[in-house]
Structure 1
Amino acid sequence: MTAALALGTYRLRDVAAAARYAAASGTSWLDTAPNYLHGRAQLLLAPVLAEHPRLQVATKVGFVAPQTRKAASAAGILPPGTHHSLHPRYVRWQMGRNRHELGRDRIDTVLLHNPEHMDEPSLLHQVLRTAFTALERESAAGHLISYGVATWNGFDDRLFTVADLDRLATEAAGSPHHHLKTIQLPVSLVMDSALAAALDGRGPIADATARGWDVHASAPLHGGGLPALATAELADLLHPRLSIAQACLLAVASCPGVSKVLLSASTPAHWDAARTALDKPPLPAETLRKALDVLAPHHPD
């Protein structure tokens, strides 16, 4: 079974229109953050979430949008000029702001946003533990169903593993029954380390799946650049009746363990094309391995 298609809002300009179309087309999940669209994404999504109460949403804590920075500084939450923070006081404050902006009393999932951006990498595990503690308290208060980590290169750079995250969440909760249930990471035929490892039953995707966690694949088309690196021959190898972009999306959705593919589809045509691709049966592991071999010479250093 292929992964579900979810709306990612990072690169969207008209997030409300895209979210309405995605919801009307049957998606159950969208992903956003308080710093997207210059800090306006959550406010613009709130009416859509009110219209579609069953639509689930993941948002984030970490990067600080300009207007958020001013408000947090005025409230004594962050020092002036802070651009990224996972301090527990800020996590709790931003959680309240997220709920207010999204118009939801309880958020489905909150992800710590690129924790590798913190200034002191040697303190990363300690920072994660204290942030997890704040999120466990938010869950206990009924403000949050689950939480997780959204990273760009944290797993590749071995700053943390899924086992590390599980251990830190257990310490934060004081029990193995914690609420850390999701990882988000780039998965594509270019940023392919997690995909290649998952095909062999290794790496963060396999480790998260073994724990019953959700795995959200971000940047499945490598920021829109993947179709330019791929060829019609590669698309034919993956699926002869799909376009290059569709075939590359299906490859990510076929990765063992990936539960959601986040796509910033700016038009109904792009969204419908992606839905068509993900309606296809998953690609065999051997086909995915061949595709990775084909693209290997074109990978950036």
Structure 2
Amino acid sequence: MTARLGLGTYRCLDVAEAALIAASCGADWVDTAPNYENGRAETSLAPVLAVYPHLQVSTKVGFVAPSARRIGVRAGALSPDDAARGHCLTPDYIAWQVARSKRMLGRTPDLVFLHNPEHGCREREIADRIYTAVLALEEACSQQIIKAYGVATWRGFSSELFDVATLLEQATKAGGSQHHLRAVQLPVSLVHLAPVAQALDGHGVLAEALEAGLEVLASAPLHGGEVPGMVTRELSDLISPGSTPAQAALIVTASAPGVKRVLLSTGNPEHWRQAADAVARPSLSLDGLQRITDVLGT
């Protein structure tokens, strides 16, 4: 497959242990956020990143860890109202948080995602919010605090609040033709099959990202661990004969057009090895993906 397996740390109870397992099994990417592991995720990753310098890391800006709210207010980066809401994308907060993330990680992040920019935002305000945020991220790139940025969303694309064209328009407005928008992250799974079905028809976020040269990181491929229990033996054999339900689900996500990385959240070595085996298999054909979307719907 062209997609590679990366570690997503959202559901990891011990981020450092999960990262060590992933890196020892050949993973080259770990995705995190300042609010993961009760606000400790970035600090937990720092020693692992030092031991595995090849391991690329993405983090996020948007949600504010409860442990950082008072600190952010004292630093003048957060208003008390934004701290209470727990989500902020103002320029002052972005500048403060990305610099803090760099210190916590012990290195320059390879990517910083705007984390659910649709959170608490009205439709008519979303383009302006994205522009203001990417303008701050372009400034962080120019100061070499971060290398590049992207947008990680749960429902921004599916609810049609924004699309890839919107992101490119605002990034170009903020940074010109040499902007640093590099990636999008969204759920792609047997539960979230709509992006796959759209891509097979030549439109939607996966097709648009592929055309624009943006990397797609697929989050929640097992939908919080729910998907394997939903996969019957018949469906598993349709996808990949002999595979486990979890492997079958991962194969679909990894085969989706445009997906470059599949973010698996696990600290179980055996689960990781089985997942790595699944992603190493040949991609499903477009016809094979079409059969699956026909059977399951979207």
Same-fold status (TM-score > 0.5): yes
CA–CA distance in 1 between the matches of 2:192 and 2:50? Answer: 36
Post-superposition CA distance 1:107-163 (Å, at most 9, x none): 100000001103444211111111111111111111111101000110111111101
Residue from 148, 151, 154 that aligns with 1:149? 151
Indicate the SS of the match to 1:259: strand
Indicate the SS of the match to 1:181: strand
Distance apart, 1:292 and its partner CA: 2.1
Q: Match for residue 113 of structure 2?
A: 111
Q: Which amino acid aligns with 2:252?
A: A
Distance apart, 1:222 and its partner CA: 1.3
Q: Match for residue 201 of structure 1?
A: 202
Q: Match for residue 180 of structure 1?
A: 181
Post-superposition CA distance 1:250-271 (Å, at most 9, x none): 1100011100000002200000
Post-superposition CA distance 1:20-52 (Å, at most 9, x none): 111111111000000001101111111000111
2:290 corresponds to 1:289: yes
Q: Which amino acid aligns with 2:248?
A: A
Tell me the TM-score normalised to structure 1 length: 0.95
Q: Match for residue 71 of structure 2?
A: 71
Distance apart, 1:294 and its partner CA: 2.5
- 4+ residue runs of structure 1 moved beyond 6 angstroms? none
The answer (yes or no) to whether the contact 1:16–1:45 under 8 Å persists in 2 is yes
Q: Which amino acid aligns with 1:124?
A: I
CA–CA distance in 2 between the matches of 1:121 and 1:201? Answer: 26
2:45 corresponds to 1:42: no
CA–CA distance in 1 between the matches of 2:37 and 2:131? Answer: 29
The answer (yes or no) to whether the contact 2:21–2:267 under 8 Å persists in 1 is no
Q: Which amino acid aligns with 1:126?
A: D
CA–CA distance in 1 between the matches of 2:47 and 2:123? Answer: 38
Q: Which amino acid aligns with 2:178?
A: H
CA–CA distance in 2 between the matches of 1:267 and 1:201? Answer: 37
Q: Match for residue 254 of structure 1?
A: 255
The 1:229–1:157 alpha-carbon spacing in structure 2 relative to 1, beyond 3 Å, is: same
CA–CA distance in 2 between the matches of 1:242 and 1:21? Answer: 22
Q: Match for residue 83 of structure 1?
A: 86
Q: Match for residue 236 of structure 1?
A: 237
> Which 10-residue stretch deviates more, 224-233 or 85-94?
224-233
> Which 10-residue stretch deviates more, 71-80 or 181-190?
71-80
2:227 corresponds to 1:226: yes
Indicate the SS of the match to 2:225: coil
Tell me the TM-score normalised to structure 2 length: 0.96
How many percent identity over aligned positions?
50
The answer (yes or no) to whether the contact 2:14–2:37 under 8 Å persists in 1 is no
Distance apart, 1:71 and its partner CA: 0.6
CA–CA distance in 2 between the matches of 1:61 and 1:97? Answer: 11
Q: Which amino acid aligns with 1:171?
A: K
Indicate the SS of the match to 1:256: coil
Q: Which amino acid aligns with 1:272?
A: R
CA–CA distance in 1 between the matches of 2:296 and 2:121? Answer: 34
- How many residues of Structure 1 are paired with residues of Structure 2 in the alignment? 295
Indicate the SS of the match to 2:247: helix
2:271 corresponds to 1:264: no
The answer (yes or no) to whether the contact 2:5–2:262 under 8 Å persists in 1 is yes
Distance apart, 1:192 and its partner CA: 1.0
The answer (yes or no) to whether the contact 1:118–1:124 under 8 Å persists in 2 is no
2:97 corresponds to 1:97: no
Distance apart, 1:169 and its partner CA: 0.3
Indicate the SS of the match to 1:149: strand
Q: Match for residue 217 of structure 1?
A: 218
Distance apart, 1:65 and its partner CA: 0.6
CA–CA distance in 1 between the matches of 2:217 and 2:189? Answer: 12
Taking only aligned residues, the RMSD between alpha carbons, in angstroms, comes to 1.1
CA–CA distance in 1 between the matches of 2:255 and 2:137? Answer: 31
Distance apart, 1:230 and its partner CA: 1.6
Indicate the SS of the match to 1:110: strand
The answer (yes or no) to whether the contact 1:16–1:48 under 8 Å persists in 2 is yes
